[in-house]
Amino acid sequence: MVGFPRPAHLIWLANPMLLIAWVLIATALLGASHESRVASGLKTAAVVASGLALVGAACFLLPVSIVANEGGVPNAVTSRRAGYWLWLGSVICAFGSAMLLPVAADNSARRELSE
């Protein structure tokens, strides 16, 4: 790829953002019982990463063309099948999970205090 990437190329950055969001969510959930401050910082990062992934994945709903071969010729996306909808659903779940992290951290802290 020579020159500035096309907008469709930037959509694929949703994949690493989704991976980062999954790691941050898991780390926040594992550390929620230890320090709520760490979980809240991770929560913010997870919301940002999953939000960027959601924007990128949702942009794929727009009419785009992608390079699907080694020749570098862009092809129009003509349909979105089950794989895309599963990917989008995964991104939506990650964003929802990131948004609910403070609730999970607060509930675990309350359980520890009540015991």
Q: Count of residues for the chain?
A: 115
Q: Cβ neighbours of residue 33 under 8 Å, at least 6 residues apart?
A: 108, 109, 112
- Predicted local confidence at residue 10, as pLDDT: 73
In a domain, 78, yes or no: yes
2 domain-assigned: no
**The model's pTM:** 0.71
Inside any domain, residue 51: yes
Q: What is the CA radius of gyration of the chain?
A: 18
For the stretch 37-89, pLDDT in tens is: 556 678 889 999 999 999 988 888 877 777 777 777 777 777 888 988 999 99
Domain membership of residue 85 (yes or no) is yes
Q: Give the chain's domain count.
A: 1
Q: What is the pLDDT of residue 103?
A: 52
Domain hosting residue 79, numbered range: 8-114
Is position 3 within any domain? Answer: no
Instruction: Let me know if residue 1 belongs to a domain.
Output: no
